[in-house]
Homo-oligomer: A and B are copies of this chain.
Amino acid sequence: MNLIDDKTNSQAHGWQRLATDYPYTFRMFRVRRDQARWPDGRVRTFSYVETAGAVWVVPATADGQVVLIRQFRYMLDDWQWEVPAGGFHDFTGDPVELAKHELEEEVGGSSDNWLYVGSFNTGASTFEELAHIVLARGVRLDRQPRREPAEIIEVHLVPIERALEIARSGEMTDGHSALALLRCEPYLIGVAE
């Protein structure tokens, strides 16, 4: 979120960006406010939230389990199933490097087998964040987690088929973690050594 996106393609669809400012900034996001001429010719505000992007890590062990976490979230005021994840707001490096960092920090995991699976947008009209999916295979829980003050985390080893079921059924209420797991499904079949 370091450059002003100039909406070059939008111009071809009747949009014209007139001005941009950032009325609110927090450590993990900022609010962008564009004054723009909309396709119907009227000038309106288009405001949305930008982040620096984030990564979701799907960690699979050699014996066919996925390392899921139950995390307590202040924002939600509740626990939920997730996979390890973290943002680029305080990290410099590529998605696989951030994935390695988060796997070690949140669950004490390490791996020598990393695969960048792909990305998705976590919003289309209000929240602009590019989410990266990274798969780690042959994961070992051989490190000491180094959790941040807000990270209240339980680690659970769950058989792959059950982890996919938790994602598909909605028992995993965290949408990004669920999608990361389901996007990894083709790579998880037969992952056990």
Contact = CB atoms under 8 A, between A and B. Distances in A.
A124 B77 contact: no
B29 A46 contact: no
| Chain A interface helix/strand/loop/mixed | mixed
A88 interface: no
A72 B125 CA distance: 10
Interface stretch (A59-67, A104-112, A114-122): A114-122
A168 B186 contact: yes
A127 B24 CA distance: 14
B168 A185 contact: yes
A155 B118 CA distance: 25
Nearest to A178: B179
A80 interface: yes
Q: How large is the interface on A (under 10, 10 to 19, 20 to 34, 35 or more residues)?
A: 35 or more
A118 to B, nearest CB: 4
Query: How many copies of this kind of chain does the complex include?
Result: 2
A158 interface: no
Given A49-B29, A168-B186, A182-B168, A7 B173 contact: no
Contact of A175 (B36, B150, B179): B179
A75 interface: yes
Contact of A179 (B15, B24, B49, B182): B182
Interface of A: 5, 7-10, 13-15, 23-24, 26-29, 31, 33, 36, 38-40, 42, 45-49, 51, 71-78, 80, 82, 117-129, 131, 149-150, 152, 168-170, 172-176, 178-179, 182-183, 185-186
7 contacts: A10-B77, A23-B24, A38-B149, A49-B126, A168-B185, A168-B186, A175-B176
